[in-house]
């Protein structure tokens, strides 16, 4: 159900949610708002924001109750004298849209422990937290203020969950996991399962118990069915502000930096370090024991087997081809070592012939 806000109240809540980092200034009359709409479709009670120049003319004629744009864009559209209507001058309208939508769509929850939830003796649940039916909180676990644990989620032994987190249905936070504040775990993700550790012994594989933890910073979001393995000896770490998409595999002892983003189906092998503010495209594969410098970019479907000391963008994938073209390309690639030898032999022969010609000319 849509929630209605006075625009001044909404701006104040966005300022609080952004921790005062988003510069905003309201002009014009007060207004009541309920939702965002594209400028050409907006009407009474709607907000429209400008981030794409293609919609500039539509913003001029928009019937939205509130227009949201950068100050320089407002001056370019309307001139020095802004029209008599409600305009929010904002340094980053898209960020305002993101923060405000969180507020507008925040679901109401029933605070407390549902009678059909299972909270073991010795677990600590803040009185303002919500534990829904069929959720499990094991002994020694701690659930922080205003955190919501939804149906079927499992908070295992000695897990610590901070404040204002949302743990969606069927999430598993395994033993000793540490979670910061304001984290979101989408349905089905598994945090703290054993890493893939086995010792070869006489043709068999002997399991190595994984004794490390998973430690997750503040403001992390982890997508549906993503898995983050516990460390073998040291911890697996996800830095604050990092966002992981669906169906990602983070292996044991990995250290993912702060404010990284990874698209779906990324796989990172064990003991790899990803620096702060790194971006990883969908389905990229990163080998183990690699240090990726802060600020790097990994393209989609890339296979990373090593890295240098400096941040850069690396992309390496084989684009899809028609069947016959693919077969021809693969056949060519398989012949590259032999072709290289042939090319070297031809180069030597050319040098010999050139030397022979020079000698006859003398």
How far is the C-alpha of 135 from the C-alpha of 78, rounded, in Å?
A: 54
Stated as kind and residue range, the H or E segment containing 94 is helix 93-104
Are the beta carbons of 283 and 264 closer than 8 angstroms? Answer: yes
State the pairing for strand pair 118-119/142-143.
unpaired
Are the beta carbons of 17 and 103 closer than 8 angstroms? Answer: yes
State the CB neighbour count (10 A cutoff) for residue 46.
Answer: 20
DSSP 214-244: EEE-TT-EE-TT-EEEPPSSS-EEE-TT-EE
Residue 169's nearest CA partner among 150, 147, 155, 189 is 150
State the DSSP code for 247: T
Instruction: Retrieve residue 317's tokens.
Output: 């994938």
- To the query of whether residue 114 is one of the catalytic residues in this protein, the response is no
**For the chain, how many helices (H) and strands (E)?**
6, 39
**Edge to edge, what strands does the sheet with 261-262 contain?**
112-113, 130-131, 148-149, 166-167, 184-185, 221-222, 243-244, 261-262, 279-280, 297-298, 313-314
- Say how far residue 145 (Cα) sits from the centre of its chain: 24
DSSP 253-308: T-EE-TT-EE-TT-EE-TT-EE-TT-EE-TT-EE-SS-EEPTT-EE-TT-EE----
- Catalytic residue among 252, 259, 277, 289, which? 252
Positions marked catalytic: 252
């Amino acid at each position: 159900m849509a929630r209605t806000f006075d625009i001044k109240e909404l701006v104040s809540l966005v300022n609080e949610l952004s921790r005062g980092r988003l510069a905003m200034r309201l002009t014009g009359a007060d207004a009541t708002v309920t939702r965002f709409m594209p400028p050409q479709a907006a009407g009474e009670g709607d907000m429209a924001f400008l981030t794409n120049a293609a919609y500039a003319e539509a913003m001029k004629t928009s019937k939205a109750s509130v227009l949201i744009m950068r100050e320089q864009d407002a001056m370019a559209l309307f001139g020095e004298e802004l029209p008599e209507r409600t305009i929010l001058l904002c340094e980053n309208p898209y960020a305002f849209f993101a923060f405000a939508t969180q507020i507008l769509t925040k679901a109401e929850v029933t605070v407390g422990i549902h009678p059909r939830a299972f909270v073991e003796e010795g677990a600590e649940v803040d009185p303002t937290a919500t534990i829904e039916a069929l959720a499990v909180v094991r002994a020694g676990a701690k659930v922080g203020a205003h955190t919501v644990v939804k149906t079927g989620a499992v908070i295992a032994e000695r897990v610590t969950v901070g404040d204002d987190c949302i743990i969606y249905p069927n999430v598993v936070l395994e033993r000793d996991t540490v979670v910061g504040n304001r984290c979101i775990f989408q349905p089905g993700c598994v945090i703290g399962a054993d890493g893939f550790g086995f010792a070869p012994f006489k043709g068999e594989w002997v399991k190595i118990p994984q004794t490390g933890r998973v430690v997750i910073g503040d403001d992390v979001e982890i997508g549906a069915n993503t898995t983050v393995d516990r460390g073998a000896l040291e911890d697996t770490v996800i830095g604050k502000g990092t966002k992981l998409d669906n169906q990602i595999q983070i292996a044991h002892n990995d250290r993912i930096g702060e404010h990284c983003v990874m698209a779906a189906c990324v796989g990172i092998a064990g003991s790899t370090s990803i620096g702060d503010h790194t971006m990883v495209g969908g389905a990229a594969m990163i080998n183990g024991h690699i240090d990726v410098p802060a600020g790097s970019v990994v393209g989609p479907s890339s296979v990373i087997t090593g890295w240098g000391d400096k941040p850069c963008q690396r992309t390496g994938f084989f684009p899809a081809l028609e069947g016959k073209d693919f077969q021809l390309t693969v056949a060519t690639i398989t012949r590259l070592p032999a072709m290289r030898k042939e090319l070297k032999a031809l180069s030597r022969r050319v040098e010999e012939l050139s030397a022979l010609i020079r000698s006859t000319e003398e």
